[in-house]
Every structure is written in structure tokens, then in C-alpha cells.
Structure 1
Amino acid sequence: MKITGIELRRIAMPLVAPFRTSFGTETDRDVLLLRVVTPDAEGWGECAAMSAPLYNSEYVDGAADVLRRFLIPAVKTLLDTPAPTGQFDIHAVNRALHPFKGHNMAKSALETALLDAWLRTGGQSLATYLGAAAPTVPCGVSVGIMTSVPALLEAVDGYLQEGYQRIKLKIEPGWDLAPVQAVRDRFGPDLLLQVDANAAYTLADTPHLAKLDAHDLLLIEQPFADDDLVQHAALAKQIRTPVCLDESIHSADHAAAAISLGSCSIINIKPGRVGGYLEARRIHDLARAHGIAVWCGGMLETGLGRAANLALAALPGFTLPGDTSGSHRYFATDITEPFILQNGHLPVPTGPGIGVDPVPDILREVTVSTEW
């Protein structure tokens, strides 16, 4: 596949409301987009990195730098060398990026853009390529830490009225038992409810976290530090609530280690965190073979990243609603045609590649800078 140009584009996307987690509050998204241009098609990838290294070690400026200096040159060298079969090999791209340590979100953006362009050339959708088994995906919503319990209940009620199938509450020390109990009391035992700690606790908090068992949660997500598989395994033996790992899982190897240690019984798969959709599919396959439930997490993506996530979430092993919310959950105006909830589900794009394109006028309006 001959590449005639690669564009790095920064856009600014204000959020409809502040989104607070245990590691900080976001009011807007500084998004890095990557566009691959070939003689036959264009491909888009979205980098999930945040403005500051708070969720993980990556941040937007760093992602742009490593793409510019290392990852794009490595792919250019690969593509300038004729493949033995004469055919483009997306897995060879994966191997070319592997020697560079870390920077999974930057790698994912580049891999996705190349994958999108290649699939568009062949007229195949990303969902079909990955092995999607469903035409629609059930959607959950992530609710940030609020200023008060009444404000939380009002927000949850609004999301349920919109049709969301599952509620996830962000928690931290001082904002955990009371809000969870309030939501459970208000909306009843049938509500699919889970919590996400974003590594805000330690093993010493186990007796406190065990009190969550009374609320019949789907899971508790990433209670401890990302490098703490052993202590997650210890927690899993002491509480009834299933433990789900997010930040701890960077690859299929990490997932295999977590499963072997008993650190989790559920895995949140975020393509950006693990280096792209090929590795995400490997983790899905591994988890499914071991009877581990998986779901697709989100990083407040625009419609470009959301479309690709929906293709992944349609795989057969994704048995829990993911954070694949509608566009208006985060943005008043998305850069693609908006994804709108339909009976609690979003349709999986069926067009070639990721199946969506940016709306030129909107993209132009939110663009901060471009670089070829």
C-alpha cells in the first residue's frame, strides 16, 4: 500500500459538562487525529491520550512527538520495502512498531489509520475484518464524580431515560459507599450497576471495598495501581464483587498473567491502551478461551474513535455493555455524523474501514493545527 502523505491534526473538543474521575477533571478534549492518504483511499485514526499523563504515562504532545520521530518513519521504511508477497500486511506494521517501548496510544492511532485506509481500498468494514457477530451494541454510560448525591441521582435518571443499559459510577475514597447505595436505593436491584476506581485504593482498603458487596454490582474496575496484579488477586479472594482490570492490561501477555494469577474475572479492553485493534482482538480471543468476560471501555472519543470501538464491541466475547455512549454524552457537536442511541443500542458501522468520515466544515472549525 503506497502512502502519499500522513497528517497529524490537533482538534479542540469542549465537553458538554466537566467529567471528574479520581485522577482529575476534564472540561475539554485535546485530540490528536492521524490521517493516512493513499492513491486509493484515506484512513483515520484517533489517539486516545489525554492532555496530561494522568490516566497513564502517555499525553498528547508526547504522542505527536513519538509518531513524528519514530513510529511514522518506521512504518515508512516498512512500506518502502516491497513485501515478499506483494500484498500489504497490517501485521507487519504491528511488528515494525513493536521494538519501540510503550506509547500504545500513539501506535494504536497509526495502526488504525493504516487499517482504515487498507480496508477502504478493499471495500471491507472493520467490523467484518475483526469478526463482529452483532449488528448493534448495547451501551452503558460512565458517570463522573459529582458535587452531591442529589446531582448524581438526577444525572443517572437522565441517562436511564435516554435508554442506557448500564450505569458505571466513578468512585474514590470519600465518594463510594454513599453514592452507590443512593443509586441502588433509587433505581432498584435490576439496574446494571458497576463502579470504577481508576486505581484510587490500596490493599489496606479491602475491608471498606468489601462493603460494596451488599449492592450486587456487576464489577469493581481497577481498584489498585496498574502494576499491582498480585494485590488485585488478593482482593479478588476477599470480596464477592467481581474484579475488573483496565489500566493493568497493556497487552495479551498482561491479560494472560492476570488470568493466571486470578487478578480479575473481567477485563475492560480499550484499543488505545493496548496498542490497537489487532492486540485488542488477541485479548478478546484469549479471554473468551478462558471464560473471562470482556467489555469495551472508552476514552471520551470523537465519532472516529467511537466507530472503531463499536466494531470491536460487536465481537462475540463482549458480553457486557461497554462505554460506547452516544455522541451527545460528551460533545454538543461531534466531528462525524452523531451516533444516536436507539433502544439503548448503537448500530455498528457497516461501511468500508471504520465506516465514518469527519464532516469537513465541523472538522475545520475545531482544528487547532495540522502537520504533514
Structure 2
Amino acid sequence: MNSLQIKPYNQQLQVPYRWSKGTQYVRRGLLIRAEIDGHVGWGESALPPHVNYDGWSFAAHCSTLLTGLDAHSTDFLAELALREVSPRLRCGLSSALYTAKAASQGQSLAAYLAGDTMTPLTRVPINDLINEADPAECVQSAAAAIALGQNTIKLKCTAERALDIARVKALRTAFPDLIIRLDPNESWAVEWALEQIKVMEGFNIDYIEEPLPRGTDLSVYAQISKQTSIPIALDDSIRSPFHALRAIELGAAKAFIIKPPRVGGVDETKALIELARAANIRCIITASLETSVGLYVALHCAALLGSFVEPCGMGTARFFKNDVAPPPPIIDGYMHVPETPGLGVDPSTWWEQH
């Protein structure tokens, strides 16, 4: 039996998700279940957190796109490309497909993706995500992360320049050895971004991720990268191997932030990891405020980083009031990569109740 099924989710957040594009209290998306010859795989597809949409309508639209396709066919992913399926939907579909195939061969998703060319990691270090506006609350969240063994945090920034400086200063004062990363999510205007970056140089910042507005040419990032000691990391600008190669050619970034949903899935993520490693570009895998299914998908992808691994961005389960299944726990600063066949998480109970 071969099948693909889609169900929407609408999960309440217990911790508001505050970032440059607003504050969200709900996370919407789709879970995707693939069954191939009795073996089940799971995937997740969710639009960016700030996009407000009806899950059932989105699920119906996605199901229509799959009409007439056979998930077991070797041409399945090629057919998705012909139908111009979005990267986020392709990620969910391909994740479900690959985890079902991995399960059918008695392998974890990471081992299946690694093949004979890589040895996947058994655990991955995790950074925490901090988005509170109040500097004192940021310090409290960082302390909680440190208590879990994490030595790296990523601070969500906005166009509120003075407030962000105060938040960073409070974190650095409280924790001199903490690794601090900044993520403005495209909210720093080109006119003053370099000035803000120069101020941040005084706080020993690990990198600044995608600070400039969407659509900014990579050549602008290359110019800024040459004028600061803080490494520039690119996130949304790295959407395909073409964009990665262009960034490498221009010297636009010293790190790539790769989200499987944004680049189109686990196979595309692997290709970008290989490009980054060949160019000696730092590579960090992150999720996209997803449920435990998306977190496990990202975790298996991060296992492909091998010796190039550094703290990855999957510590977001704490934002959810309820999840579709238990998320991967953080133990001594690490998530352990499941070695059981498939994805290593089973949301069947949630699936049957919804």
C-alpha cells in the first residue's frame, strides 16, 4: 500500500514568538504521513510563522497538487518540480517519503541520507533562541539555557536599535563567556545596518544573521562583510545551490543558516551542506518554529554536518503549549539523534485524534 495523507495543525504557543515580523501566539502548519509498503514516514510543512492562513484550506490545496501522483514512484520528486510545488511543501512531502524509505530499510533518516559517503553524528549541540524584549528577561532565558548545558544563544533582533543594544549588553555583562548570535530577520535598513553592526563589535558576537531587507543583493552583503569583524551569516538568501555558489563567489558570508523547509527538504539540505563544507563555510541547521516532527527532521539533517558541526537552532519546543509528539530533549546541551528506523518520533496518537 502506498499513500500520502495531509492534516493541518493549529498549535497554541505558551511563549509568544516575538521577532522582527511581529509576535505570534499560534503556529499553523501541516503534518504529512507517507506509507510505503507498510512502512510509515512523517513530514511537516508550515508557512513562515507570521503568515495567517486557514490550515484546512491549505491542506486541501496541497492535496489537490498531489492528484494522480504515486509516492512510491521514482519520478515522484521530479513530478513535484514539474508542478512547481513550493519548497516548504516539498520539504514536508520529501521528509515523509525519505523517512518511510529509511524505515523500510531499517535505517534512521540520518543514516539513510548519509549513505556510504558520510558518518552521521549521534548527537548535535543546540543553541537556545531568545526573543524577549526586556533585557532582564533575556538574561533569565539565557540562564535557563545554560542550566540545560547550552553555551550558545541566538537573540532575535528588530529595528529597535537602542533596545537591542541594551539587550545584548545585558547578556554580555551577565555571561562573559556566552556565545551570542544575532538574528535581525531582515529588519536592519541598509542605511544604518553597518553602524549598528559596528556597535555590536564591542560585545564579541559570534555572527549576525541576515540583517538586511529581503531582496538586498548579495554584493551588498559582500561589502558589509569586508567592513566588520563580526561574521555575516546568510539565511533566507541561501535558498538553493545557485544562491550558495553566488554567495561563496562574492564572499558575501562566512556562515550559511540552512532550514530544510526553506530550501525544499532533506536532500536539498544535504546538497547545501556539501557545498558549504567544500568552501570552508560555517554551516548551521535550524528548524522554522515547527512541531516535534519538524525538529526531528532538522536534527537528522544536522547529523550530516560531521566534524563541521556547531550549535544548531532547534531549541524551540519550549514555545509550544502542546506538541504533536514529544520533542527531542536537550541533554547537557545536546540533542541525541535517533538510531531507530525512520524519523524516531511517532505522532500517530495526535494524528488519530485529529
Question: Is the 1:293–1:317 Cα contact (8 Å) retained in structure 2?
Answer: no
Q: 1:158 aligns with which of 134, 138, 144?
A: 144
Are positions 1:109 and 2:95 aligned together?
Answer: no
Aligned to 1:82: none
Aligned to 1:138: 125
Structure 2 counterpart of 1:222, one-letter code: E
Aligned to 2:342: 353
Q: What do residues 214-260 of structure 1 show as CA deviations (whole Å, max 9, x unaligned)?
A: 11111000101332212211211111110001111111111111111
Question: Is the 1:50–1:60 Cα contact (8 Å) retained in structure 2?
Answer: no
How has the CA–CA distance of structure 1 residues 271 and 33 changed in structure 2, closer, same or farther, with 3 Å as cutoff?
Answer: same
Are positions 1:178 and 2:166 aligned together?
Answer: yes
Aligned to 2:67: 73
Percent identity over paired residues: 29
Q: 1:210 aligns with which of 198, 202, 208?
A: 198
How has the CA–CA distance of structure 1 residues 61 and 332 changed in structure 2, closer, same or farther, with 3 Å as cutoff?
Answer: closer
Question: Is the 2:221–2:252 Cα contact (8 Å) retained in structure 1?
Answer: yes
Larger CA deviation: 277-286 vs 37-46: 37-46
Distance 1:151 1:345 in 2: 23
Q: What do residues 99-151 of structure 1 show as CA deviations (whole Å, max 9, x unaligned)?
A: 3446100111111111111111121111112225321111111111x242112
Structure 2 counterpart of 1:334, one-letter code: D
Aligned to 1:49: 47
| Paired positions, count | 345
> Structure 1: 5+ residue runs without aligned partners?
80-87, 368-372
Larger CA deviation: 278-287 vs 41-50: 41-50
Structure 1 counterpart of 2:59, one-letter code: A
Question: Is the 1:94–1:111 Cα contact (8 Å) retained in structure 2?
Answer: yes
Q: 1:17 aligns with which of 15, 27, 48?
A: 15
How has the CA–CA distance of structure 1 residues 6 and 261 changed in structure 2, closer, same or farther, with 3 Å as cutoff?
Answer: same
How has the CA–CA distance of structure 1 residues 269 and 122 changed in structure 2, closer, same or farther, with 3 Å as cutoff?
Answer: same
Question: Is the 2:10–2:55 Cα contact (8 Å) retained in structure 1?
Answer: no
Q: 2:278 aligns with which of 264, 289, 301?
A: 289
Q: 1:64 aligns with which of 52, 59, 62?
A: 59
Aligned to 1:304: 293
- 1:67 CA drift (Å): 2.2
How has the CA–CA distance of structure 1 residues 227 and 99 changed in structure 2, closer, same or farther, with 3 Å as cutoff?
Answer: farther
3-state SS of 1:335 partner: coil
Larger CA deviation: 252-261 vs 95-104: 95-104
Distance 1:30 1:364 in 2: 18
> Structure 2: 5+ residue runs without aligned partners?
none
TM-score, normalised to structure 2's length? 0.90
Aligned to 1:260: 249
Distance 2:175 2:278 in 1: 35
- 1:52 CA drift (Å): 4.6
Distance 2:49 2:142 in 1: 27
1:196-235 equivalence runs, <5 A: 196-205=183-192, 206-228=194-216, 229-235=218-224
Aligned to 1:83: none
Structure 1 counterpart of 2:311, one-letter code: P
How has the CA–CA distance of structure 1 residues 114 and 52 changed in structure 2, closer, same or farther, with 3 Å as cutoff?
Answer: same
- 1:59 CA drift (Å): 8.8
Q: 1:344 aligns with which of 327, 333, 340?
A: 333
Distance 1:125 1:187 in 2: 37
How has the CA–CA distance of structure 1 residues 244 and 75 changed in structure 2, closer, same or farther, with 3 Å as cutoff?
Answer: farther
How has the CA–CA distance of structure 1 residues 180 and 313 changed in structure 2, closer, same or farther, with 3 Å as cutoff?
Answer: same
Distance 1:172 1:306 in 2: 25
TM-score, normalised to structure 1's length? 0.86
How has the CA–CA distance of structure 1 residues 236 and 61 changed in structure 2, closer, same or farther, with 3 Å as cutoff?
Answer: farther
